[in-house]
Chain A
């Protein structure tokens, strides 16, 4: 509450000063950077998986892929996906797979078992503790 005429009292000025001292500049606090990096790393680790699918695909399959970012690694370039993931047919669709954090996922490993279908090298993941046999 100001004094009549809009002048501040000595107590009000003292309160403002102490309030200023108690509110550190967040840009200078390293904890904020570390916290931010941590949050970013967690978000990155939880980026989505993707499945390239076609008419022969099993909708319940556990096989997936993912790239470095949040988008499908080969976008809608299905011939590149076929080549990198060594698929026996050219996919026609890509679907996002959200795996809950508590479910195990095995991978990545490079696709390299069937060079007759493509050059390989794409990242394969499988939902489970072990690669299926």
Chain B
């Protein structure tokens, strides 16, 4: 069972934060499983409801994220987005976002479908493994 963070957050009242992160509990569990399987890190965010994976190599980190609608604070529409971005980083010297893109919008009623979330992220991981070889 994945515990949902109840940390003090920046942008949401505590009840809203709990409700929104609860919606992500299945996605968090899927990402934890994939992180173990693919030996990468789980992406966590204490300020915004999101989960995903962090894939590091020497100079860059690739983030695959399932994140709440980025305009939620304005329009209060509850849906999630699968996004991807890469950060090139030399510690203490240089850091730049190389590219980012929105891959798919996940409606609220699909965010708790384990197989759907699993296959979405797995496709991305397999594609990046294929690109690397």
Contact = CB atoms under 8 A, between A and B. Distances in A.
B46 A112 contact: no
A90 B114 CA distance: 35
Q: Which secondary structure characterizes the binding site on chain B?
A: mixed
Interface residues of A, number: 21
Contact of A88 (B8, B11, B87): B11
A88 B9 contact: no
Interface stretch (A31-39, A41-49, A52-60): A52-60
Contact of A116 (B44, B47, B96, B102): B102
Contacts of B87: 112
Q: Which secondary structure characterizes the binding site on chain A?
A: loop
Nearest to A63: B10
Contacts of B85: 115
Contact of A115 (B9, B10, B95, B100): B100
Interface of B: 5, 7-12, 44-48, 63, 67, 70-74, 81, 83, 85, 87, 89, 95-97, 100, 102
18 contacts: A57-B11, A58-B9, A58-B10, A61-B10, A63-B10, A88-B70, A89-B11, A112-B95, A112-B97, A114-B70, A115-B97, A115-B100, A116-B70, A117-B70, A119-B97, A121-B95, A121-B96, A132-B7
